[in-house]
Structure 1
Amino acid sequence: MQITGLTNFQKDLLKTSKAVPKEMPKIMRKVGTKARSVVAKRARSDVKKLTGNYHKSWKRGKVFIGNEGAMVVRVYNSSPHAHLIEDGHRQVTKDGQEVGFVRGKRVLEKGMVEFDSSGVAGDMISDWVDELLEQNKL
């Protein structure tokens, strides 16, 4: 996810501040929760068929440091058949004969593209930096 909308001044403040490491996981959890809600909404619109607890199983993971040193939060579906809806699956009869293939819906991918293009994350982080400035933590 690319964060746009931050000014150069705000980026410099984030790099030099000592309060950011303590406060950053809080805003990342909020951004992750917002991303989860966007993806879940997309799933409800794309997957009309009620398949177990698929729609109820969208979750936001913990905040952690990724490979490139950036803070990352995951959005995932904990339902055991989510990968079948996401990636697609073979259709077989009871005899084991393949009848066809059901294409994947790619709900998570489409939902994250929708969330990235909306600019909500950048706005949330920009507001957070402004709030830190007002509280004199930066």
Structure 2
Amino acid sequence: MAKFDFSELTKFEEDLLELAKDLDKGKHAKKFLRNSGNKLKRRTVNAAKSKTNKRTGNLIKGIKRGKPYKYYVDGSMAVRVYPGSPAFHAHLIDRGHRIVDKNGKEHGFKPGVHFFEAGAKEYEGQYYEDTQKFIDDLLDNHLL
């Protein structure tokens, strides 16, 4: 009858559980999400610059990266890029809007340029690579 030594497998299991506790605290994940959010913001700003003729800087300055937060539905962590000021009308440029005069008469529709979607789509492939590298680094640093 063969005997199996499970001591290394048990140590690996303990290391994985310890890593899961560290991830639950969120220190490593928050740093990764902040960096990813900054990269997404840069891509969004570049998309806004290329798709609009606005050169005053208010549109560009208004694009912000939020704080990493726990998503309320499933507890996963997320970060967002959004137009900063509620008074600033970046959503009108991004999604489009009706053209209305002061009397309320509609004169047409100005289509949106969708720079938030363009920035997200442009960063999507890089995000998967960054996530894979983050997981590999986390496992290498924690389990060795």
Contact 1:19 1:137 in 2 (8 A): no
Match of 1:37 in 2: 42
Question: Which deviates more, 22-31 or 119-128?
Answer: 119-128
- Number of matched residues? 124
Q: Does 1:18 align with 2:24?
A: no
Which amino acid letter does the alignment assign opposite residue 101 of structure 1? F
Contact 2:101 2:107 in 1 (8 A): yes
Deviation at 1:16, TM superposition (A): 5.7
Deviation at 1:48, TM superposition (A): 1.6
Structure 1 residue runs of 5 or longer lacking an equivalent are: 1-12
Contact 1:14 1:20 in 2 (8 A): no
Which amino acid letter does the alignment assign opposite residue 77 of structure 1? P
Over 3 Å counting, the alpha-carbon distance change for 1:50 and 1:90 in structure 2 is farther
Match of 2:64 in 1: 59
Question: Which deviates more, 37-46 or 98-107?
Answer: 98-107
CA offset digits 1:74-100 (Å, max 9, x no partner): 110114111110121222335543222
Q: Larger helix proportion, structure 1 or 2?
A: 2
Aligned residue among 119, 123, 126 for 1:120: 126
Aligned residue among 102, 110, 122 for 2:110: 102
Using the alignment, how far apart are the partners of 2:78 and 2:17 within structure 1? 16
Over 3 Å counting, the alpha-carbon distance change for 1:46 and 1:15 in structure 2 is farther
SS of residue matched to 2:66: strand
Aligned residue among 72, 77, 85 for 1:71: 77
Structure 2 residue runs of 5 or longer lacking an equivalent are: 1-15
Q: Larger strand proportion, structure 1 or 2?
A: 1
Which amino acid letter does the alignment assign opposite residue 19 of structure 1? D
SS of residue matched to 2:61: coil
SS of residue matched to 1:76: strand
Give the share of equivalent positions with the same residue, in percent.
Answer: 40
Which amino acid letter does the alignment assign opposite residue 97 of structure 1? K
> Which protein has greater RCO, CA pairs closer than 8 Å, 6+ apart?
1
Over 3 Å counting, the alpha-carbon distance change for 1:69 and 1:96 in structure 2 is same
* C-alpha RMSD of matched pairs (Å): 2.5
